[in-house]
Amino acid sequence: MNKIFPQGDGNGNAAAGTKALPGGEAGFGSLCCSRRGACLSAFLLLLLVTLAALIALVTILGLPPRTPGVQTCVTLMNRTGFLCHDRRSCVPASRVCDGVRTCAQGEDEDEAMCRDVPQSLPSFLMARCGDPTSWIYSDQKCDGINNCGDCSDELSPVTACPPCGPGWWRCPSTVFKYCDCIPRVLCRDHTQHCSDWSDEYSCPGP
């Protein structure tokens, strides 16, 4: 015998005597939406709490100090210098990495910058001598002193320096410390400092 199954009507409604499953599609969709909404709300709440905590931490501790890159400056003696992080203090190049903290925050003795001198120094802080293996600080160039030991930091062709200043007398020096200029205070002191004796006979003195 063939079984006859009840058919729905033309509108798609189940025939009488059939039962719908409990918690049908509408109920299932509502449950999913409810759970998703709860998860989203919890996530947003956590995000807001984290943001509030960060704001409170910054308010209490303050913003971290801004660390600018290494920059050059000009000292009061018109020499190359190292600009401190306060943007006001200018440390002479030769006082960088000398073991003494001159900048308020000690950045002139920064470990990374001073780890392997002169290779770790910024290029503006150092100068090469005639002997490429020798170097000096950039503010020691053209200062009248034989810092390189061969006068290459004072004389051409390695270095182009301006003429002797008003406090100097130009002559071929017999003193290792000087090159082609000597301090005028050495003139007329009854001691030869120039190979031509001009410091004793021609130099007018200080």
| One pLDDT digit (tens) per residue for the chain, 206 residues | 444 445 545 444 444 444 444 545 555 455 455 666 666 777 788 888 888 877 876 567 654 444 457 899 999 999 999 999 999 999 999 999 999 999 999 999 999 999 999 999 999 999 999 998 999 999 999 999 999 999 999 998 888 999 998 899 999 999 999 999 999 999 999 999 999 999 999 999 88
pLDDT, position 206: 82
- State how far the alpha carbon of 45 is from the alpha carbons of 31, 36, 49, 100, 153, in Å: 21, 14, 6, 51, 67
Asked if residue 101 is part of any domain, the answer here is yes
CB within 8 Å of 81: residues ≥ 6 apart: 72, 73, 74, 75, 90, 91, 92, 93, 139
Asked if residue 10 is part of any domain, the answer here is no
Asked if residue 205 is part of any domain, the answer here is no
- H or E segment and range at residue 90: strand 90-92
Query: In terms of pTM, does the model score above 0.85?
Result: no
Asked if residue 162 is part of any domain, the answer here is no
pLDDT, position 20: 46
CB within 8 Å of 134: residues ≥ 6 apart: 128, 148, 149
Domain extent at residue 103: 55-142
pLDDT, position 15: 46
pLDDT, position 95: 97
Q: Where are the alpha helices (DSSP H) in 62-120?
A: 111-114
Q: Where are the alpha helices (DSSP H) in the chain?
A: 25-61, 111-114, 198-201
Asked if residue 185 is part of any domain, the answer here is no
Asked if residue 126 is part of any domain, the answer here is yes
Asked if residue 114 is part of any domain, the answer here is yes
Asked if residue 187 is part of any domain, the answer here is no
Strands 181-183 and 80-83: unpaired
Tell me how many domains the chain contains.
1
